[in-house]
Amino acid sequence: MIPDPDFGYIHAPGNTSRRQRVDVSINREGFRGPEFAASRGDGRCRLLILGDSVVFGWGAPQDSIFPARLQRLFDEVGLPCEVIPAGVGSWNTRHEAEFMKKRGFDYSPDVLLLVIVPNDIEPSRKGRSGVSASELFPSARPTSRLAQGISRTWRVLVERSYVFSSAQHVRRVESSRVESERSRYTSGSPALRDASLALAMIAEGCKEHGVRFTAVEYADSSTQFERAFTAAYSTALDSLCVEHYRIDRVGSDGRYRNSWVDGHPNSDGHRIIAEELFGVLRPIVVARLASREGADSLESIPMRPPDPPEKSSPD
The whole-number pLDDT of residue 224 equals 85
269-272 long-range contacts, CB within 8 A, separation 24+:
269/60, 270/57, 270/60, 270/64, 270/65, 270/66, 270/69, 271/64, 271/66, 271/69, 271/309, 271/310, 271/312
| Torsional sign, CA 100, 105, 107, 108 | positive
Contacts of 202 (CB under 8 A, 6+ apart): 96, 97, 100, 112, 114, 213
Rounded to the nearest angstrom, the gap between the alpha carbon of residue 22 and the centroid of all alpha carbons in its chain is 20
Strand, coil or helix: what is 166? helix
The whole-number pLDDT of residue 291 equals 87
| CA-wise closest residue to 130 among 191, 179, 180 | 191
Quote the CATH superfamily of domain 2-139+189-300.
Answer: SGNH hydrolase (3.40.50.1110)
Domain ranges of the chain: 2-139+189-300
Strand, coil or helix: what is 32? strand
Q: What is the pLDDT of residues 222-245, one digit of tens each?
A: 888 889 999 999 999 999 999 999
308 pLDDT higher than 50: no
298 pLDDT higher than 70: no
Q: What is the pLDDT of residues 124-160, one digit of tens each?
A: 999 999 999 999 988 756 668 888 888 889 888 888 8
More confident residue, 170 or 133: 133
Amino acid in position 71: Q
Q: What is the mean pLDDT of the chain?
A: 89
